[in-house]
């Protein structure tokens, strides 16, 4: 298991990139819209992991609601797992609360979110390696 990325909710990706690219000198390696999640994402590598900037494209999206409630900041931590199906089965067996069944997201990766109530307060995303 490795950290895949840290998801950061932002109001405006281009504005946020002024800091990450301009001040820190990082480079975006991937940008895309994920229509079913109603977000735009930008990925910036940091060693073996990445920072994922998330901008809402719909006022009713999860990211828009997060921003309205908490403001910009850390939204989730994503971990790569070798066997997502086995991880999901193990989580269900222990009573963990999943927010979705495995599905495809940014970059074509298959993922599932685990509710913060099951993880000591942190939204956790598991991604098939």
Count Cβ atoms below 10 Å from residue 72 Cβ, excluding itself.
17
Token readout for 95 is 């009573």
What is the model's pLDDT at position 107?
A: 83
| pLDDT band at residue 108 using 50, 70 and 90 as cut-offs | confident
What span, in angstroms and rounded, lies between the C-alpha atoms of 74 and 63? 11
- Note the CATH number of domain 2-128: 3.10.180.10
Q: What is the mean pLDDT of the chain?
A: 96
What is the model's pLDDT at position 106?
A: 84
Cβ proximity of 9 and 75 under 8 Å: yes
Q: Phi and psi dihedrals of 34, rounded to 5?
A: -120, 90
What span, in angstroms and rounded, lies between the C-alpha atoms of 85 and 1? 14
């Amino acid at each position: 298991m490795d950290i895949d990325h840290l998801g950061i909710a932002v109001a405006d990706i281009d504005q946020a990139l002024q800091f990450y690219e301009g001040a820190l000198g990082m480079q975006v390696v991937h940008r895309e819209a994920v229509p079913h999640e109603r977000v735009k994402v930008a990925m910036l590598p940091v060693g073996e992991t990445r920072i994922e900037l998330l901008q809402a494209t719909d006022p009713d999206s999860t990211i828009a609601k997060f921003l309205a409630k908490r403001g910009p900041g850390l939204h989730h931590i994503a971990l790569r797992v070798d066997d997502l199906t086995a991880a999901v089965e193990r989580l269900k067996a222990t009573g963990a609360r999943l927010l979705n069944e495995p599905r495809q997201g940014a970059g074509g990766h298959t993922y599932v979110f685990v509710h913060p109530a099951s993880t000591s307060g942190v939204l956790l995303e598991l991604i098939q390696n």
